[in-house]
């Protein structure tokens, strides 16, 4: 009987433990919003209940409160009379603005919209974690390529990357392959080198592309240089032409003269691959990245 109980316990406890842990992971990410009273009431209540039994979250909450309180005590700057006069003169020197007609009144309460957005986000996190815990990764749906509908230089991210590639490809590579771990530590998004039978990592370094931090990985591909730029997803998805091109899991393709570009989004990043090689070569690399 005792053995049976032990067997039962060994079956139940790990599952309970896993559920508690996944719940802790979800709620821990919401502590900042909890400290700021920016969550719907029911989520606030859930976190309050969790805090009673979780010392780690109580400690995390204290850090949020301490930072917030100290920053709230920061004083504004004191603009000099000279600056005020300069601003007034600069405004006087330009034409008066053109008035537009008044907007239509709002039909839904602002607070309601905000909480709906927050609630949706909270639910999305919980669902995402539940899926990770409970189910294996679903196969990625495969689609084709789609050329971007704007000139490369008109898309800040791509224009900046093409310019940076031109600089890099005409000089010594700024970093070595063994610098990869330092590059990983320097950026806020995950970095995995590309795979491929003909692809060899030559160097890794960080840069910024039109003000956005980027990780750069250089590869040798059939004795040609191919460079991968990784940027955070918000930078990647900023331009509508990029969003339109990669929608429905398509591969973005573009060209700047003889220079080929392909781009695709990752989990929390975006990759842009550039090279003075046929676009098909770059597309092959992308194909090798996709799960079967």
Catalogue the E-assigned strands of the chain.
Answer: 145-147, 199-209, 212-221, 224-232, 251-256, 259-265, 269-275
With contact defined as beta carbons under 8 Å apart, do 194 and 204 qualify?
no
Measured CA to CA, the distance from residue 33 to residue 38 in angstroms comes to: 5
Pairing of strands 269-275, 199-209: unpaired
Chain positions 229 to 258 lying near another protein, rule: CB under 8 A, are: 232, 234
Q: Which is nearer to another protein, 125 or 277 (CB)?
A: 125
Q: Which is nearer to another protein, 183 or 285 (CB)?
A: 183
With contact defined as beta carbons under 8 Å apart, do 203 and 177 qualify?
yes
User: Min. distance of Cβ 236 from another protein in angstroms?
Assistant: 13
User: Min. distance of Cβ 91 from another protein in angstroms?
Assistant: 5
Q: For the window 70-109, what string marks contact with another protein as x by the rule CB under 8 A?
A: xxx-xxxxxx---xx-xx--xx--xxxxxxx-xx------
Interface with another protein (CB under 8 A), residue total 64
Measured CA to CA, the distance from residue 11 to residue 33 in angstroms comes to: 35
Per CB under 8 A, 124 contacts another protein:
yes
With contact defined as beta carbons under 8 Å apart, do 40 and 122 qualify?
yes
Q: Locate 193 and state its tokens.
A: 């080198």
For residues 281, 283, 286, 292, the Cα torsion angle rounded to the nearest 10 degrees is -110
Q: Which is nearer to another protein, 104 or 258 (CB)?
A: 104
User: Min. distance of Cβ 46 from another protein in angstroms?
Assistant: 16
Stretch that binds another protein, among 55-63, 162-170, 190-198, 216-224 (CB under 8 A): 55-63
* Residue from 2, 10, 69, 112 in contact with another protein (CB under 8 A): 69
* 3-class DSSP assignment, residue 89: helix
Angle at 18 between CA 13 and CA 24, to 5 degrees: 125
User: Min. distance of Cβ 264 from another protein in angstroms?
Assistant: 20
User: Min. distance of Cβ 33 from another protein in angstroms?
Assistant: 5
User: Min. distance of Cβ 121 from another protein in angstroms?
Assistant: 3
**In this structure, what DSSP letter does residue 142 have?**
P
* 3-class DSSP assignment, residue 278: coil
- In the complex, the residues that contact another protein under the rule CB under 8 A are 29-33, 36, 38, 56, 59-60, 62-72, 74-79, 83-84, 86-87, 90-91, 94-100, 102-103, 110, 113-114, 117-118, 120-121, 124-125, 184-188, 206-208, 210-211, 213, 232, 234
């Amino acid at each position: 009987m005792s053995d049976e109980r032990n067997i039962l316990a060994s079956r139940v406890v790990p599952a309970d433990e896993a559920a508690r842990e996944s719940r802790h992971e979800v709620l821990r990410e919401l502590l900042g919003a909890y400290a700021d009273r920016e969550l719907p009431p029911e989520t606030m209540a859930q976190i309050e209940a969790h805090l009673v039994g979780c010392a780690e979250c109580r400690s995390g909450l204290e850090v949020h409160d301490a930072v917030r309180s100290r920053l709230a005590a920061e004083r504004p700057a004191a603009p000099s009379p000279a600056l005020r006069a300069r601003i007034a003169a600069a405004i006087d020197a330009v034409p008066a603005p053109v008035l537009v007609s008044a907007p239509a009144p709002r039909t839904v309460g602002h607070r309601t919209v905000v909480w709906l957005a927050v609630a949706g986000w909270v639910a999305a996190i919980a669902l995402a974690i539940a899926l990770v815990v409970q189910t294996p990764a679903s196969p990625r749906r495969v689609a084709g390529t789609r050329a971007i509908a704007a000139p490369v230089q008109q898309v800040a991210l791509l224009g900046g990357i093409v310019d940076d590639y031109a600089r890099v490809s005409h000089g010594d590579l700024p970093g070595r392959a063994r610098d990869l771990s330092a590059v990983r530590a320097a950026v806020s998004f995950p970095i995995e080198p590309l795979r491929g039978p003909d692809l060899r990592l030559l160097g890794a370094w960080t840069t910024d592309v039109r003000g956005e931090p980027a990780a750069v990985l250089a590869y040798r591909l059939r004795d040609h240089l191919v460079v991968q730029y990784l940027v955070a997803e918000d930078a990647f998805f900023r331009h509508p032409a990029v969003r339109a091109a990669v929608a429905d899991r398509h591969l973005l393709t573009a060209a700047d003269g003889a220079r080929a570009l392909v781009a695709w989004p990752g989990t929390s990043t975006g990759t842009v691959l550039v090279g003075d090689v046929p676009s098909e070569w770059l597309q092959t690399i992308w194909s090798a990245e996709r799960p079967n």
